[in-house]
Amino acid sequence: MQELPTWFEVGTLIALVGLLLADLLVVARRPHVPSTKESALWVGFYVALAVVFGVVMLVIPGGGTEPASEFFAGWITEYSLSVDNLFVFVIIMSRFAVPAEDQQKVLMVGILIALVLRGIFILLGAAVIERFSWVFYIFGAFLIYTAVKLVLDRNEDEEYEDNALIRRMRKVLPLTEHYDGAKVRTVVDGKKLFTPMVIVFFAIGSTDLLFALDSIPAIFGLTEDPFLVYTANIFALMGLRQLYFLLGGLLDRLVYLSIGLAVVLGGIGVKLVLEALHTNELPFLNGGEPFEWAPEVPIWVSLVFIVAVLLVTTVASLLRSRQLERRGQA
């Protein structure tokens, strides 16, 4: 595995943290519902930023085609999974009746929570992979299981249910009936009470944690470099808030998204299993020796596969949605 320069990794993380803090400050000072144009510009900015970052890795000392390809494959995978996550975010916002002007702040706080949780997951995952290469068997099997489940459940309506922690919070926390902007605490008749916003923050944060169970194994199937794993997650999540407002009702038009994601996750799962077989160390499999017939899948093949699947999925979804609209108008 190629090693990127330390100055590049540290400088990148400092710049990204600064950008996230600036974004949070803007949201805190000017809560509003962004227009389609504003959302499109910001999404374009973050996508362009990720592309520039990948290109920079091509030319810096210690970089090259391999780390850049791994980053692009990981970022595209995480970004596509984030689009699927937006379905649940829409449901949560509706379920808790979050005022439109406060939804930006909710999403931003949720994204920051996700970045912290995913950072912990990535560090733990990297440590486990370094010591136990056989964990790829587990990651691969889990992704294949997730892919099959996505296909089987694709026709079921998405519903959000409070988890046990949130149900417990409702019982023990003194809550107000109404929101007070994006505040989590307020004063009513001289008493300090929590607003429903604290429940919303926990709902978004806990949901992000569940999403990480799918996305972290998936990206480790594309690169084992913790820096590339984390930066791919950051770039995918940074534009998620604006993407939420940009897509809005258009999410319903991506009718084949779950199938496309299932194919991507299943493909990465197969790649992980093949890699585990290729480097096998389990004593009860092949006498602890690697399986020579198991191929190593190049990262460029994974990148082309992911992009092709998502392009076909998007085009097919839009064509199908247009067909259904015409039938409805007939």
Per-residue pLDDT tens for 114-127?
Answer: 788 888 888 888 88
pLDDT on residue 55: 93
In this model, does residue 154 exceed pLDDT 70? no
Among the listed residues 81, 90, 75, the one whose alpha carbon sits nearest the alpha carbon of residue 210 = 81
In this model, does residue 289 exceed pLDDT 80? yes
- pTM of the predicted model, to two decimals? 0.77
Q: Do 316 and 256 contact (CB within 8 A), yes or no?
A: yes
Highest mean pLDDT out of 4-13, 126-135, 217-226? 4-13
What does DSSP assign to residue 214?
H
Handedness of CA 105, 111, 112, 113 (dihedral sign): positive
Handedness of CA 214, 215, 221, 226 (dihedral sign): negative
Instruction: Look up tokens 């486990």; give the residue.
Output: 128
Q: What is the mean pLDDT of residues 205-217?
A: 75
pLDDT on residue 14: 92
Q: Which residues contact 211 (CB under 8 A, 6 or more apart)?
A: 81, 85, 114
In this model, does residue 73 exceed pLDDT 80? yes
